[in-house]
Amino acid sequence: MVDEAGHLAGIVSQADVLSVFSRPDEEIRRDVTGRLTRQGLPGVNPERLQVTVRDGIVTLSGRPETGQAGRDIIEAARHIDGVIAVRDQLGPADDRLPTATS
pTM greater than 0.85 = no
User: CATH number of the domain at 23-96, out of 3.30.1340.30, 1.10.3720.10, 3.50.50.60, 1.10.1740.10?
Assistant: 3.30.1340.30
pLDDT in tens, 1-34: 778 888 888 887 766 666 656 789 999 999 999 8
Residues 6+ apart with CB under 8 A from 54: 25
**For residue 52, which phi and psi values (nearest 5 degrees)?**
-125, 150
CA separation for the pair 26, 31 (Å, rounded): 9
pLDDT in tens, 76-101: 999 999 999 999 999 988 766 565 55
Domain residue ranges of the chain, discontinuous segments joined by +: 23-96
pLDDT in tens, 26-80: 999 999 998 887 777 777 788 889 999 999 999 999 998 888 889 999 999 999 9
If you count DSSP H runs as helices and E runs as strands, how many of each does the chain have, helices first?
3, 3
CA separation for the pair 64, 49 (Å, rounded): 7
